[in-house]
Amino acid sequence: MPQASVVGNLLASGGIVALDPEKNEVPTDTEAQVELAFANLRRTVDAAGGRVEDVVKCTVFVRDKSIRPIIDKHWVAMFPDETSRPARHTISIDLPEPQQIQLEIMVVLGQG
């Protein structure tokens, strides 16, 4: 299954997880998972020739919404301009162990 699909200038991703590309594993630490998930978001966008500024929507799936402060820290670091951040929706779901977070994005490529 592909990580994402591009049609024209629209990229839609599947689940972007906190899989460490060097170790091929998901860490158990929540902070590390959130950091990796956002790094993998960037890798996905970069692979399609886009920029994180092209992300228009991000759905954040979490096991427990109590990790939101950790997510917010990485969110603001990735999208520092509060006037042009992507739309975001956070949903609690039953993720497989040890996953605490999964992201899905929509990106309009070539906007800048």
C-alpha–C-alpha distance, residues 78 and 81, integer Å: 9
Task: Give residue 111's pLDDT band: very low, low, confident or very high (50, 70, 90).
Answer: confident
In the chain, domain spans: 4-108
pLDDT per position as a tens digit, 34-79: 999 999 999 999 999 999 999 999 999 999 999 999 999 999 999 9
**pLDDT of 112:** 62
Residue 99 · residue 61 · CB < 8 Å: no
CATH of domain 4-108: 3.30.1330.40
Cα-Cα-Cα-Cα dihedral of 92, 72, 68, 17, to 10°?
50
Residue range 13-29, pLDDT digits in tens? 999 999 999 999 999 99
Q: Across the strands, what pairs with 105? A: 58
Identify the CA nearest to 105 among candidates 51, 45, 62, 46: 45
